[in-house]
């Protein structure tokens, strides 16, 4: 876990326009974890400044990462947090002590896990600013009986203890790192939810199906496979599908493959030659169904067997009429 870095001198940010009511900023509750958007009614803040943010459990300290701009209303009301005020000197000292306490709790819990032989991996420890609760994040292959561990932690810290099991994606989100593109991981910077990712998305975008190339630091499919998937799917929907016949200059060409990135088609001629067709060509061509003679060799549909018993329709009994 990273140590406190709040002693850095705050860097002055550009003042938002004076006509706006709300100033929006990027904030982090701990160094190296995901950023959140927050707004304030007060004066402009500085990059690296410690502020108090309104949370359900009470005010929590956070570090200002940058200015997003000035708006008349919160940019995203359901998820945009509210900055109450800059932190005082006492709160700044308490925050630095809080980071050290989390590091100490992480080491203590890790030692207890090894001592009790629990099959779990501790990821991170978070402690509320008021000390009312501590959350221990961990990963495990199966269900873990950590009741004895919780008792030890309660006796040690005299506060509420929550053991929260997370998946490998959330573990990578908490630990952070760099992706194959060389930039910080999307999940550790701006992603709020993990959308489902399938191998079909890689096939649609014509990516190599090598697990080493389409998997992230969590050994799961890359989250960025979802970013352009809809665009590729829409382009493919507009293009003639493989197997269709195109009339190009009076010659019938069969579509072999689609290339949505360049919006081109690979087609095959009657003599077996292949060529690439651009968007302008295949849009003006007449897309026809496969030739009818290809169906000539198909066997007729099989009828009922000769020795099948005939089906007799049962005569329904007439219903009784009601006499008045």
pLDDT tens per residue across span 1-14: 444 444 444 444 44
Rounded Cα gap, residues 259 and 271, in angstroms: 23
Rounded Cα gap, residues 11 and 65, in angstroms: 10
Q: Any idea what the CATH number is for the domain that residue 120 is in?
A: 3.30.300
Residue 16 lies in a domain: no
Residue 223 lies in a domain: no
DSSP 4: P
What does the pLDDT profile of the chain (324 residues) look like in tens digits?
444 444 444 444 444 444 446 888 888 888 767 788 888 877 788 888 899 999 988 899 999 988 877 776 655 555 688 888 899 999 999 999 999 999 999 999 999 999 999 999 999 999 999 889 999 999 998 888 999 999 999 999 999 999 999 988 888 888 888 888 888 888 888 887 888 899 999 988 888 888 888 998 888 999 999 998 999 999 888 888 888 888 888 888 888 888 888 888 898 988 888 888 888 888 887 544 445 444 444 445 455 555 555 555 555 555 554 443
- With 0-12 CB in 10 A as exposed, 13-18 as middle and 19+ as buried, what is 230? exposed
Query: Residue 308: its pLDDT value, please?
Result: 54
Rounded Cα gap, residues 98 and 101, in angstroms: 5
Asked which of 121, 143, 166 is the last residue of a domain, the reply is 166
Q: Are residues 131 and 68 in the same domain?
A: no
Residue 128 lies in a domain: yes
Q: Are residues 44 and 77 in the same domain?
A: yes
Query: Residue 52: its pLDDT value, please?
Result: 92
- Taking Cα atoms as reference points, which of 35, 56, 31, 38 lies closest to residue 132? 56
Query: Residue 33: its pLDDT value, please?
Result: 75
Residue 56 lies in a domain: yes
Q: Any idea what the CATH number is for the domain that residue 264 is in?
A: 2.30.30.60
Query: Residue 18: its pLDDT value, please?
Result: 46
For the record, the structure tokens of 84 come out as 């109450």
Q: Which residues of 256-275 are buried (b: 16+ CB within 10 A; e: fewer)?
A: eebebeebbbbbeeeeeeee
Residue 28 lies in a domain: yes
Residue 205 lies in a domain: no
Residue 53 lies in a domain: yes
Asked which of 149, 166, 183 is the last residue of a domain, the reply is 166
Query: Residue 305: its pLDDT value, please?
Result: 56
How many angstroms from the chain centroid is the CA of residue 13? 31
Asked which of 116, 134, 166 is the last residue of a domain, the reply is 166
For the record, the structure tokens of 38 come out as 């927050």
Residue 70 lies in a domain: yes
Residues contacting 298, CB < 8 A, separation 6+:
none
Start-to-end C-alpha separation, the chain: 92
Query: Residue 319: its pLDDT value, please?
Result: 52
Q: Are residues 81 and 100 in the same domain?
A: no
Query: Residue 303: its pLDDT value, please?
Result: 53
Q: How many domains does the chain have?
A: 3
Rounded Cα gap, residues 259 and 253, in angstroms: 16
Residue 266 lies in domain: 240-288
Q: Where are the beta strands (DSSP E) in the chain?
A: 22-28, 36-40, 50-53, 60-71, 81-86, 121-127, 133-139, 160-165, 245-248, 251-259, 264-268, 274-277, 286-288
């Amino acid at each position: 876990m990273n140590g406190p870095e709040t002693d850095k001198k705050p860097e002055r940010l550009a003042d938002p326009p004076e006509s706006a009511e709300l100033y929006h900023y990027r904030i982090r509750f701990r160094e190296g974890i995901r950023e959140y958007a927050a707004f304030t009614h007060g004066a402009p803040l500085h990059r690296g400044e410690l502020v108090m943010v309104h949370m359900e459990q009470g005010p929590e300290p956070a570090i200002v990462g940058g200015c997003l701009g000035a708006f008349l209303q919160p940019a995203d009301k359901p998820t945009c947090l509210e900055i109450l005020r800059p932190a005082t000197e006492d709160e700044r000292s308490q925050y630095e002590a809080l980071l050290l306490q989390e590091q100490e709790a992480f080491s203590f819990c890790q030692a207890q896990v090894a001592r009790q032989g629990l099959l779990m991996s501790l990821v991170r420890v978070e402690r509320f600013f008021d000390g009312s609760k501590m959350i221990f994040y961990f990963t495990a292959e199966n269900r873990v009986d950590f009741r004895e561990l919780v008792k030890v932690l309660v006796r040690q810290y005299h506060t509420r203890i929550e053991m929260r099991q997370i998946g490998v994606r959330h573990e990578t989100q908490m630990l952070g790192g760099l992706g194959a593109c060389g930039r910080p991981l999307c999940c550790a910077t701006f992603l709020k939810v993990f959308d489902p990712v399938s191998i079909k998305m890689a096939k649609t975008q014509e990516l190599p199906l090598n697990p080493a190339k389409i998997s992230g630091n969590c050994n799961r499919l890359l989250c960025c496979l979802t970013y352009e998937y809809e665009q590729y799917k829409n382009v493919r929907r507009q293009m003639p599908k493989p197997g269709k016949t195109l009339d190009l200059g009076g010659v019938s060409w069969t579509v072999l493959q689609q290339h949505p990135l360049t919006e081109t088609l690979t087609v095959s001629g009657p003599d077996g030659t292949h060529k690439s067709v651009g968007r302008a060509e295949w849009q003006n061509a007449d897309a026809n169904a496969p030739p009818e003679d290809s169906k000539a060799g198909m066997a007729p549909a099989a009828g009922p067997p000769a020795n099948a018993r005939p089906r007799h329709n049962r005569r329904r009994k007439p219903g009784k009429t009601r006499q008045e």
